[in-house]
Structure 1
């Protein structure tokens, strides 16, 4: 690797960086991706976990962004049906905030700005005659229903990195770029991990460092001007399940913001998000008491059962790097992205802004620009391709999980079902021909075998217990107080 001249080095292992690495490697470019922490450790694992057009952005006139995102929904849902699936949303009508005609118009646009193949259209419902009305206060008698999608955001990042690696990319986690200098036709990039500092060469660099995108250009000494980013912190809380059905809610709040309440990990409800301007290191972002109180209070305005801070089982925060369009209200700042290609010498492509739903088309556009700058000719390919684990054949997710469980009758059904959903068609690498738990090395922590842990280490760059419990899986929610046990096992059983 030290002697190789890469076509592109991607800085940043979030969704945009992983998506660009995958697209570029699949076109035959030699790619190295470096991430200073774990894949998706920050912003890309701290989303509301939705594949959506962004209904509220219509109110700010973001028609191009919404259309672009709506076009991508079914492309993404088809690429990895084990970690992404359709979700119906219910909006109780609060007549004091937005009139019904405005919501109907918005939903009409939402239905028709892009073609839908599988997602159902919007409808008006009587909440007093519908199961989704049962958990809500009786004052909400009318509502609206529409479709979007759900995604396991951290796994989406990992699967893009995995596909990039399968196409030949080098993925280096916990490796920071500390300097990037132009030397003739190449970039000389200095990287540092916990063991060593070394240099590699590349014909181009992609700066996909997310909330660090602007500071990277300064800290690495690239001497490049850059766009101004506005850092916005979004926080979420997870509470015990508040309703029994599988629909999500979108609530309108008096401050004109909207908030989601989403079925999460079978036993929980995910509530979010906030929008708060943030100053400081994005890696240090955490939820404030004020944000917890806000999310609880706004939820309690709609649900019959009060949501209180003592109910919070988990919370997370992430800093979104948004293009600074000088809006005073953080919620109204654009979620669109900007790609800026600098070609005075070896190419530098800066990625500013963006949202998880548009990552694939962002990556495709970015690599189109890169190959042109490098004088190459290779066509886009990701719009019709599956991500690792996404090959479920003609089966639905539910039917696929059932078929896997039937194939392993001697293994615990709940464990097999979880593995089948989390890893899709890759489950065979974990379960193999096992006839008993002992064939898989037994449980290291409840519900997780040694075989699964070794898979995560070998194929998904997992190093620590946090990587495994909170990003590759969400077992940290279901099996509390197991982090130390798992970390000790990792130390005692090195790869």
Structure 2
């Protein structure tokens, strides 16, 4: 007899993890399958912001911006260890949008955001420190506003962890190779390293991101009424380009914007691009043209330019945007759309819900809306519950990370400050689960280099679905930017020896 679940979720990105979490918390039996690692594709290739989308106001997407700004506050309280406030400096470029437009847009942004925890926008002089030494002389005035930084792939992992804690099964490296609808259920063929198995599900959620049409066609024999516009966004990482904890947002002549953001202590993240994509979805890479575009985008603003030789790392992902026939890739909506197909006479058969579009900031609300859609075709127990519920490690008093870090530093006084900060940021209150009974660095097991010890690898395998060195070094963390190649090779061997 095949395994039976209420809900099969296909896709281990942010939307799939969010829907699995919400559904499991309402009492549904849930199986999430992901053909690779969690957040292997789009969800780990973002600009890593929880934000309202200031530039969306220019395209009159007021509902999306308002919802995003409300969700910004919700997520900041749910995961204060991996999400924190960031101030953005927007220089006024005389040849582009006038000051009154920027001022009006920021005033509306503040108003839509309500009275939250983040400071409001303000004018700023670029003729004083630190901006004077960073930006070119023609830039004399600008504005500051607030949004948030997020460790994107960790947000996915924490959501999946919470789903599992509430009863869901999370199956990574598991591919859905077939979907067949019967009168009141689906039979899904799943393949992993142990072979094939068949799962029976009352409903299917197709949250496969860029692969969503591929899954829809496998299930229905054709695409759904909605269609994707696949848009590649690429980023470059360079050595720290300027001092300070603030980010810059630079207007471009093509009406796009490019961010420069402090990254991993020693670096600056620069992105992103918007390029229509029709290549291999499993192997997405930045192009030479995109590298040049991003370098030139910031060189127009910084006193010190960015050369090709400065680039130490790049990444690219494909955004599965809903095709709204917008003329430009940068203006196509970032909102989300659902297509629900329920076969049978009168649409009374087993449903499949496909998710198009969306953004990291609204993933929790998207999950609520997805279950509301499914409730028209199946029984969904319980009420919406995720608002106000912390993610793993985020259960800090008053969502105050600084207070938590201070308490941890007093209790774990044997741990070097930089290591404690990294672990506290990554794991929050679950740092105690990671270190166990350790009372010294020697108690943490093999030292791989930097501040990486075997205890952390053991934790990531046991609790965070990590199976390879890449899972750890690039998705659960960005330690690959800080560790020597020798140390990275040692991590690879550690996983190989485990089988």
TM range (shorter): over 0.9
The match for 1:135 is 134
SS of structure 1 residue aligned to 2:134 = coil
SS of structure 1 residue aligned to 2:234 = strand
The match for 1:55 is 54
Residues 29-40 of structure 1 aligned to structure 2 (within 5 Å): 29-40=28-39
Q: 1:365 deviation in Å? A: 0.7
The answer to whether structure 1 residue 404 and structure 2 residue 408 are counterparts is yes
Structure 1 distance, partners of 2:165, 2:90, is 42
The match for 2:346 is none
**Contact 2:224/2:339 (<8 A) preserved:** no
Among 355, 362, 366, the alignment partner of 1:358 is 362
Q: Give the aligned CA root-mean-square deviation in angstroms.
A: 1.4
**Contact 1:181/1:222 (<8 A) preserved:** no
Structure 2 distance, partners of 1:391, 1:346, is 38
**Contact 1:402/1:417 (<8 A) preserved:** no
Structure 2 distance, partners of 1:465, 1:445, is 14
**Contact 2:230/2:276 (<8 A) preserved:** yes
Report the count of equivalent residues: 493
**Contact 1:90/1:132 (<8 A) preserved:** no
Q: Which runs of 5+ in 2 are unaligned?
A: 344-348
Structure 2 distance, partners of 1:415, 1:342, is 49
Residues 145-224 of structure 1 aligned to structure 2 (within 5 Å): 145-220=144-219, 223=222
Task: Indicate the larger mover: 192-201 or 159-168.
Answer: 192-201
The match for 2:294 is 295
SS of structure 2 residue aligned to 1:263 = strand
The match for 2:483 is 479
Task: Indicate the larger mover: 176-185 or 409-418.
Answer: 409-418
Residues 178-327 of structure 1 aligned to structure 2 (within 5 Å): 178-220=177-219, 223=222, 225-327=224-326
SS of structure 1 residue aligned to 2:46 = coil
Q: 1:194 deviation in Å? A: 2.0
The answer to whether structure 1 residue 332 and structure 2 residue 331 are counterparts is yes
Among 419, 425, 428, the alignment partner of 1:421 is 425
Q: 1:438 deviation in Å? A: 2.4
SS of structure 2 residue aligned to 1:7 = strand
The match for 1:488 is 493
Q: 1:375 deviation in Å? A: 2.5
Change (3 A) 1:476 1:397: same
* TM-score relative to the length of structure 2: 0.96
Q: Which runs of 5+ in 1 are unaligned?
A: none
The answer to whether structure 1 residue 109 and structure 2 residue 112 are counterparts is no
Q: 1:224 deviation in Å? A: 5.7
Q: 1:325 deviation in Å? A: 1.5
SS of structure 2 residue aligned to 1:454 = helix
**Contact 1:466/1:483 (<8 A) preserved:** no
The match for 1:84 is 83
**Contact 1:445/1:486 (<8 A) preserved:** no
Structure 1 distance, partners of 2:116, 2:309, is 42
**Contact 1:286/1:317 (<8 A) preserved:** yes
Q: 1:270 deviation in Å? A: 0.5
Q: 1:169 deviation in Å? A: 0.1
The answer to whether structure 1 residue 380 and structure 2 residue 384 are counterparts is yes
**Contact 1:26/1:381 (<8 A) preserved:** yes
Structure 2 distance, partners of 1:102, 1:225, is 39
Structure 2 distance, partners of 1:326, 1:480, is 46
**Contact 2:450/2:482 (<8 A) preserved:** no
**Contact 1:88/1:248 (<8 A) preserved:** yes
